[in-house]
Structure 1
């Protein structure tokens, strides 16, 4: 249900910060155990990067192998089923690099996520920003929040940081580190072009040729030489990942400059494609993402740090609570396509509960982009399908901790299986 906030302290068993894929799964997973659960989101809708940035696919549900194997179930599967019932999720699609994606309708995603949370019995607050944390005896006791009505606090026995930026972890002085901004992956503004001919060739090489011609003619600014472009089913629209910006998303000044620069790039790409790519002669910009897509900021430090070797060698763990299958995909160069490293046998790797449990705080779990990883592993773990899986596990662990004072791996695994997760 949607909560009407009174300006006083509220009390929950589990509080989750961040309403993206990971936070939603955490809330549903915790509520399924009977925990009194609250999900806090600073935007006006749920979905995280999928809806805030108009990302058209959910990645990380299926392995790259042929035939592909589904490795995410549970709450993630619930969302896909809801979208399918709304005719808002297409069949799995392979990218030009062989990765398997699920195309989704972003507006339908918002509705499906609202319904999923409401049906779970968890409470959620939109338009709410967490601005502080109270810590006592090595654990978080409460978070301080603000909306347009003022400041209020929320107490809980256990917490999940699904903020993407490790905001709660940093406020509570848990385990985390911040890479040099030069080492962080670049951000990308999604561009939706309308008026594109059905016969337009959308292969990356065609864009590379057209953009090279545009640069030679003096059109700019243009960052990438090519990019992934996908047609929106049943329309003359295509969505393109072309406008990259190097940005420190923890710094509002850097974000401001990057957002402005990316919108300039979008106009330049429109000019370039209309002039040099057949089928784009009558194209126009239908929409740019509501905000720049951010891949990387702070990193949590858990009881175990997933390594790049763990990912590419498809390693298994006895305390596995989720699976990851997306290859290592690093967007390190603003002017180039992503660099890939493939998982052994195009299979999957295990994500252990230890990598969700924060090293510095007794009652904090991370999920999604706040799972404990090195920089290489992070480039795989961060995708949304995997975020559903890690969020689900984090929510179950937090709920068990709130109820029992501990979260043993056997209990977490058994409950995830009961909730139809794949571990």
Structure 2
């Protein structure tokens, strides 16, 4: 049965006036408990604010847990970019020795995951990515939020914003009907910039030429693989595996036989804490937008059909996968790109590659410009120079025309090209930490987000273990 499509002629209905209870008032309200929201909530609480974290699902983590995205991409500097053909690894081989540029909340999370047996320590052998267990990540994140004193409301979807002179009220849809939470400062960590957009902030979508965004992906895991058999194949066919990605010839063969119809030319397989398991990044759903319910519905349907195709492809064509099975797929499709809120500063590609030093830096990143073709096969990947990192200014978190709402994560202010770099989970968490601190300081001093001196944000960031220069 096909997914419901947008009607060609849209009829409308006037809804009756609704009354909603104001269920709480707080210093800081964080909307969205993904990597950015997790970082924001803990940082704001550590900075002394009373924090409520509202989340549409029933667990924290967002892409990091619910969507099954993995691993945490490298947040270390690079020193080498020469990939190793025929690599005997399910991790990137193009990295070289590096040093971390993100710590703070992310560093604490990674340490707790490792201590819980839920992650592999990032190292040269892992290409400095962090392979982790999604179920343990849910538990560790929940425990860290509890320890920080963050209150939370699950199964609450932001649907409206009512701005006030000294506060902001956010309306949430729930099983109990509409609920309202009022806060001195709100941090929008929805990924799509939902709250900021509802409040009237300007935004951009997609690339400048046509508005198309990067494809969506349904992630999944395959278990019971035979690594020895797989790596025997890669030794004999070194051009087909470079560590974490490859298999172009087998994909081409399956496409020619009509057994695979996915618009990409290679597949990504990442190691996990389980020795006989890999995380698969291989589906690609194009020309869909994560803020459109019809597109999202289609993407979920199409993505799961692609998961089934890829699982069959791996089992039939790829040595070492004959006895493998599909362990789990993400509960939701993962969105790479949707709204980019226009802020006081828009980060650009030139800023990234010139390593522009901002006086109001709040986060660093080393992740490359990584644009998955919005129209189909192909990925444009541009690495930063060896040993370098670029900075992201606080002004990218300040939506134009709004005084009591910040944004954090992939919806901050930047161009389509720059967004392809800062969109990844470690950077989102670092940006969330910065936004949470700014929000807490604004609430504590009774001012707006722009009324907080940057030096105070910087001091608190450094006190919480953040890295702002290398």
Cα distance change of structure 1 residues 141 and 182 upon mapping to structure 2, 3 Å threshold: closer
Asked if 2 retains the 8 angstrom alpha-carbon contact of 1:64 and 1:99, the reply is no
Out of 56, 62, 73, the residue aligned to residue 59 of structure 1 is 73
Out of 251, 255, 258, the residue aligned to residue 215 of structure 1 is 255
Cα distance change of structure 1 residues 88 and 166 upon mapping to structure 2, 3 Å threshold: same
Q: Show the 5 A alignment for 1:227-238.
A: 227-238=267-278
C-alpha distance in 2, partners of 1:276/1:331? 25
Q: Show the 5 A alignment for 1:200-349.
A: 200-201=230-231, 203=241, 207-246=247-286, 247-333=288-374, 335-349=376-390
Asked if 2 retains the 8 angstrom alpha-carbon contact of 1:53 and 1:189, the reply is yes
Cα deviation, 1:210-253, whole Å, max 9, x if unaligned, reads 11111111213333221211233333222211111012111121
Asked if 2 retains the 8 angstrom alpha-carbon contact of 1:140 and 1:364, the reply is no
Equivalent in the alignment of 2:3: none
Does 1:155 find its partner at 2:186?
Answer: no
C-alpha distance in 2, partners of 1:271/1:261? 16
Does 1:177 find its partner at 2:217?
Answer: no
Cα deviation, 1:269-290, whole Å, max 9, x if unaligned, reads 2222222222222222222211
C-alpha distance in 2, partners of 1:71/1:373? 20
Does 1:192 find its partner at 2:221?
Answer: yes
Does 1:145 find its partner at 2:172?
Answer: yes
Equivalent in the alignment of 1:111: 139
Deviation at residue 177 of structure 1 after TM alignment = 2.2
C-alpha distance in 2, partners of 1:344/1:140? 44
Asked if 2 retains the 8 angstrom alpha-carbon contact of 1:60 and 1:386, the reply is no
Cα distance change of structure 1 residues 407 and 285 upon mapping to structure 2, 3 Å threshold: same
Equivalent in the alignment of 2:456: 411
C-alpha distance in 2, partners of 1:206/1:367? 33
If the length of structure 1 is used for normalisation, what is the TM-score? 0.93
Equivalent in the alignment of 1:78: 108
C-alpha distance in 1, partners of 2:274/2:396? 41
Equivalent in the alignment of 1:421: 466
Cα distance change of structure 1 residues 58 and 32 upon mapping to structure 2, 3 Å threshold: same
Asked if 2 retains the 8 angstrom alpha-carbon contact of 1:244 and 1:334, the reply is no
C-alpha distance in 2, partners of 1:370/1:258? 20
Deviation at residue 8 of structure 1 after TM alignment = 3.5
Higher strand share: 1
C-alpha distance in 1, partners of 2:277/2:425? 23
Does 1:22 find its partner at 2:36?
Answer: yes
Task: Identify unmatched segments of 5+ residues in structure 2.
Answer: 1-19, 80-95, 235-240
SS at match of 2:130: strand
Equivalent in the alignment of 2:86: none
Question: Could you tell which deviates more after superposition, 352-361 or 85-94?
Answer: 85-94
SS at match of 2:214: coil
SS at match of 2:267: coil
C-alpha distance in 1, partners of 2:346/2:246? 40
Question: Could you tell which deviates more after superposition, 377-386 or 327-336?
Answer: 327-336
Deviation at residue 63 of structure 1 after TM alignment = 2.0
Deviation at residue 188 of structure 1 after TM alignment = 1.1
Asked if 1 retains the 8 angstrom alpha-carbon contact of 2:342 and 2:400, the reply is yes
Asked if 1 retains the 8 angstrom alpha-carbon contact of 2:206 and 2:337, the reply is no
CA RMSD of aligned residues (A): 2.0
Cα distance change of structure 1 residues 244 and 182 upon mapping to structure 2, 3 Å threshold: farther
Cα distance change of structure 1 residues 162 and 225 upon mapping to structure 2, 3 Å threshold: same
Cα distance change of structure 1 residues 27 and 153 upon mapping to structure 2, 3 Å threshold: same
Question: Could you tell which deviates more after superposition, 264-273 or 381-390?
Answer: 264-273
Q: What is the count of residue pairs matched by the alignment?
A: 415
Deviation at residue 388 of structure 1 after TM alignment = 1.3
If the length of structure 2 is used for normalisation, what is the TM-score? 0.84
Deviation at residue 23 of structure 1 after TM alignment = 0.7
Cα distance change of structure 1 residues 73 and 231 upon mapping to structure 2, 3 Å threshold: closer
Larger Rg: 2
